[in-house]
A and B are shown apart, each in its own frame.
Chain A
């Protein structure tokens, strides 16, 4: 087998953020390991934010994050691009700029031609270059199936930090990228995905959230996250809880990739969507008009998904116009309200 034809998807059963450990089990286990506090830590694990933040001085805070996963697509270069864009995204979700990165790599050197590893790293490097960060090295373990991702350090002015806890009642919620990546990847594995729809999903996963982060700073956004493995509702739930507000989402206005609704209607619902739906169930009110397809789309695990941000109503139109240059499907999907008995209301 030549390296260019090697199908990375043949190495693993479930890919991307679907490979995440069950969030409830992880939360439970971590609660028994206390962490040392420090006054300079601006964001730690407690608010379930995208990254940790440490105030160096009055002008600079460091953002640190890591993310890696098994292959999400067949092509090595594309997988590298997606994994790097996904890891860099956590810096953007906090309103920061990536500065330094390290490659985290696991690769079965006896089973797969080494050229494939080169292509994964080259794809990742292309995205790191686009972000403006510098690669400082990495670590590679001989292991099967392959996994790739980054540890990233970014910077942000401490006053410009954007967190999960920054939502205010009355603001509007904006999502930058369409949903349905998890559904299309599951469909691709089963040979059901349209080529054009699947390619759009790949293109979208490769796209950095850099422009979104710039727009957030331009329009004074204080609360945001990126939508990844826990799906739109899972990440919205974390924001609602951290900000002590409730969130209303209009499921009918969610931006969605082509073919995804008809795939959902045919029963093509990835296991991760059910896991996420279970995780958020207690905290979500669905009106009877929400269809099973809409609910599952809102729970679909995204890989390198878009930014979900809250913006003041008077700035919403200008923000959307600015975002649309890079993310044509960016739109308002809901609003932030004062705290109610449920964290999320879907209608």
Chain B
């Protein structure tokens, strides 16, 4: 067990000591970080959470102890890019290229799209991004059932990228309710870096 004692120190010193200690610790090693400052304690908790580490917390008197295990650290803080760049990973994106699901009557196509987004919300496998282009951007329009489903997905952290050119072409830029206005560069990047792509 490695102990990082930051008692008596103010931010950002405890964070610097914690980060250094975590990097230096051997794989599988338990790391305990001590602080007696409430603000530092709060910031350390937030910082470790951002680093995707889940500390166990104990408090004795005015000393807080945050314990983490180095095995929780996946290959020493992979960058978000390295996650996306890994083609063998199970990450997938949903690319919606039309406001209708499948080919056939528009009414059933529209209904199917609503049903697809509902199912996606219920699914235990969630996409790393949802891309909307061509008439697909119309499913993000205000006061639609599909926009409400997309909002639920965004609320749990899934980024939604709507093609800006398409919004301009259909003259609906001011009418979309959910997602970010994006461009072909970003959309292409997501398509090329996805483990696989779902076209509903």
Bound-complex Cα distance A268 to B10 (A): 11
Bound-complex Cα distance A157 to B151 (A): 42
CB proximity of B173 to chain A, nearest CB, Å: 7
In the complex with contacts A288-B159, A290-B80, A271-B11 CB distance below 8 A: yes
In the complex with contacts A271-B43, A289-B84, A340-B177 CB distance below 8 A: yes
In the complex with contacts A269-B12, A288-B157, A248-B46 CB distance below 8 A: no
Interface residue ranges of A251-304 to B (CB < 8 Å): 265-271, 274, 277-278, 285, 287-292, 295
Does A337 touch B at the CB level, under 8 Å?
A: yes
Tell me what chain A mostly uses at the interface: helix, strand, loop, or mixed.
loop
The interface centre, meaning the residue of A287, A295, A347 with most chain B CB atoms within 10 A of its CB, is: A287
In the complex with contacts A271-B43, A292-B50, A13-B10 CB distance below 8 A: yes
Does A31 touch B at the CB level, under 8 Å?
A: no
Does A108 touch B at the CB level, under 8 Å?
A: no
Structural contact, B80 and A340, CB atoms closer than 8 A = no
Structural contact, B178 and A267, CB atoms closer than 8 A = no
In the complex with contacts A170-B173, A271-B11, A266-B46 CB distance below 8 A: no
CB proximity of B114 to chain A, nearest CB, Å: 19
The 8 Å CB contact of B43, one of A269, A289, A295, is A269
Does B184 touch A at the CB level, under 8 Å?
A: no
Structural contact, A341 and B154, CB atoms closer than 8 A = yes
Bound-complex Cα distance A266 to B23 (A): 10
Contacts of A347 in B (CB 8 A): 159, 180, 186
Structural contact, B181 and A269, CB atoms closer than 8 A = no
Binds A, one of B13-21, B60-68, B98-106, B117-125: B13-21
Contacts of B51 in A (CB 8 A): 292
Structural contact, B20 and A266, CB atoms closer than 8 A = yes
Does A186 touch B at the CB level, under 8 Å?
A: yes
The interface centre, meaning the residue of B10, B12, B47 with most chain A CB atoms within 10 A of its CB, is: B12
Does A190 touch B at the CB level, under 8 Å?
A: yes
Structural contact, B80 and A277, CB atoms closer than 8 A = no
Does A140 touch B at the CB level, under 8 Å?
A: no
Contacts of B39 in A (CB 8 A): 271
Closest A residue to B21 by CB, please name it: A267
Does A226 touch B at the CB level, under 8 Å?
A: no
CB proximity of A267 to chain B, nearest CB, Å: 3
The 8 Å CB contact of B12, one of A248, A271, A335, A338, is A271
Does B174 touch A at the CB level, under 8 Å?
A: yes
Closest B residue to A271 by CB, please name it: B11
Kindly supply a per-residue 1/0 record for chain A positions 229-249, scoring 1 wherever the CB is within 8 Å of any chain B CB and 0 otherwise: 000000000000000000010
Closest A residue to B18 by CB, please name it: A267
The 8 Å CB contact of B46, one of A170, A274, A337, A341, is A274
Contacts of A288 in B (CB 8 A): 80, 128, 157, 159
A-B contact pairs, 13 of them (CB 8 A): A186-B12, A266-B19, A267-B16, A267-B20, A268-B15, A268-B16, A271-B11, A288-B157, A289-B80, A338-B174, A340-B179, A341-B154, A345-B180
Those 10 A-B pairs whose CB atoms lie nearest each other, nearest first? A267-B19, A267-B15, A292-B50, A287-B159, A267-B16, A271-B11, A289-B80, A274-B43, A338-B174, A345-B180
Given A248-B180, A289-B81, A337-B180, list of 11 further CB < 8 A pairs?
A267-B12, A267-B16, A268-B15, A268-B16, A269-B43, A274-B42, A274-B43, A288-B80, A337-B173, A341-B177, A347-B186
